[in-house]
Amino acid sequence: MGKRRCVVAALAAIMLMMELAALTVAENRRSMLSNGLGMTPPMGWNSWNHFGCNIDEKMIRETADALVSTGLSKLGYEYVNIDDCWAEISRDDKGNLVPKKSTFPSGIKALADYVHKKGLKLGIYSDAGYFTCSRRMPGSLGYEEQDAKTFASWGIDYLKYDNCNNDGSKPTQRYPVMTRALMKAGRPIFFSLCEWGDMHPAEWGAPLGNSWRTTNDISDNWESMISRADQNEIYAEYARPGGWNDPDMLEVGNGGMTKDEYIVHFSLWAISKAPLLLGCDIRNMTRETMDIITNKEVIAVNQDPYGFQAKKVRMEGDQEIWSAPLSGYKIAVVLLNRGPVRYSTTARWDDIGLDPKTVVQARDLWEHKTLKTTFVGNLTATLRPHSCKLYVLKPIA
Ligand code: GLA
């Protein structure tokens, strides 16, 4: 081999080694949280939206009972998540978190056992700061390993990790500490980063957590809900099996929106591959609420194995088209009227990634009907104010 060839070969070998090293780093970063959870968006319930700090073990047990008796658990709603305010304000003399004696006298382990016996999973809440957002209990900053071990020993399956009352350091410094602690704790725990989207967690959340909040807290009204869907959509490219954008929990059933608005809420969360965490009192739900949250076909869009988050593919004034590819060559499409008057809206094939000549069968997921005619090039629907249609399109020719 000539001298020049030798140099070229040596250089190629060095470059290959550098590439391998870079791959290993990428692999490590990706696998910092390798818990295998969240292959589809998590489904369940969380106490915060409806109950705030008004929580106790009886209510949590009754909620678990209701998840089973209503049939919700069979549809995939499996997490029973306790939010803020479950612990005493002070740790014990060994530095452990202590469940609040007045409201959780039997302790969290007993609750986890109860919930597990029903085939459900238990979630809990802490904070990457000195106190949680309510300031009524300690956060885990400086106690990450100890708290992760405690959670694992109790049988916790899901941790929501908030961002209040911290030391001023960046979330990218504080969140990985809990990721590592959870990985060491010896139990797969879904890790939900609740950083509110401040530092664009979609850009760094995937190696650290199974979901990351992209927005501030939702409230039970149209403006709040729809603006959270908008902010979350920006990061669509980052969602994938194992790591999801989180526009906050559901308000369906809490009374602040109309039926059409709650259908928009549930449709957008489903097509955006958002966590479907119910936020109402599921022990007392109306028929209307049940009809919305038990729509199997809409849930199937959310739980589709491909895990592509929908994007807005057209906006014209108050009319919008959101779409996402599904497995089996299907496409989910939301036709949305955000305005205050009835309007006719069209989804065009070239916007949603179909050849304009494709013949399509359309399934209306809220009417539970496959439309009688097929469609070529586009599909139009007339929409009431603040309402939407959710179709699954299936190319047939
Ligand atoms: C923050 C979170 C909410 C909730 C409250 C609890 O505001 O974003 O989802 O957990 O804290 O205090």
pLDDT tens-digit series, residues 34-73 = 899 999 999 999 999 999 999 999 999 999 999 999 999 9
What are residue 380's DSSP bridge partners? 346
The residue nearest atom 5 of ligand 1, judged by CA position, is 133
Domain boundaries, the chain: 31-302, 310-395
Distance 197 CA to ligand 1 centre (A): 13
112: Cα separation from own chain's centroid: 22
pLDDT digit string (tens) for 79-110?
999 999 999 999 999 999 999 999 999 999 99
pLDDT band at 28 (very low <50, low <70, confident <90, very high): very low
Please give the distance of CA 369 from its chain centroid, rounded to a whole number: 28
Length of the chain as a residue count: 397
Distance CA 204, CA 172 (A): 8
> Which residue has its alpha carbon closest to ligand 1 atom 4?
48
134 C-beta closer than 6 A to ligand 1: yes
CA-nearest of 202, 229, 225, 198 to 312 is 229
* Per-residue CA distances from 194 to 111, 132, 161 (Å): 24, 11, 5
What pLDDT score was predicted for residue 4? 62
Q: Which residue has the tokens 């005493």?
A: 88
The domain covering 31-302 belongs, at the CATH homologous superfamily level, to Aldolase class I (3.20.20.70)
Q: Do residues 247 and 215 touch, judged by C-beta distance below 8 A?
A: yes
**Marked catalytic residue, from 162, 220, 248, 281:** 162
Please write down the long-range contacts of 56-63, taking CB distance under 8 Å and 24 or more positions apart: 56/103, 56/104, 57/103, 57/104, 57/105, 57/106, 57/110, 57/111, 60/111, 60/115, 61/111, 61/114, 61/115, 62/283, 63/282, 63/283
Please state, in angstroms and rounded to a whole number, the distance separating the CA atoms of residues 297 and 264. Answer: 15
How confident is the model over 288-344, as pLDDT tens digits? 999 999 999 999 999 999 999 999 999 999 999 999 999 999 999 999 999 999 999
Residue 376: CB atoms within 10 A of its CB come to: 15
Contact in structure between 75 and 295 (CB atoms under 8 Å): no
Told to judge if 217 belongs to the known catalytic residues of this protein, a careful annotator would answer yes
State the CATH architecture for 310-395. Answer: Sandwich (2.60)
For the stretch 146-177, pLDDT in tens is 999 999 999 999 999 999 999 999 999 999 99
Q: Give the pLDDT confidence score for residue 25 in this predicted structure.
A: 47
- Burial bucket for residue 387 (CB in 10 Å: 0-12, 13-18, 19+): buried
pLDDT for 22 beyond 60: no
Predicted TM-score (pTM) of the model is 0.93
Residue 245 Cα to ligand 1 midpoint, Å, equals 16
**CA-proximal residue: ligand 1, atom 8 (nearest):** 217
Contact present, 272 and 208 (Cβ < 8 Å)? no
Confidence class of residue 262 from pLDDT cuts 50, 70 and 90? very high
Q: What is the pLDDT of residues 373-382, one digit of tens each?
A: 999 999 999 9
105: left (phi over 0), alpha (psi -120 to 50) or beta: alpha
Q: Is residue 370 scored above 90 in pLDDT?
A: yes
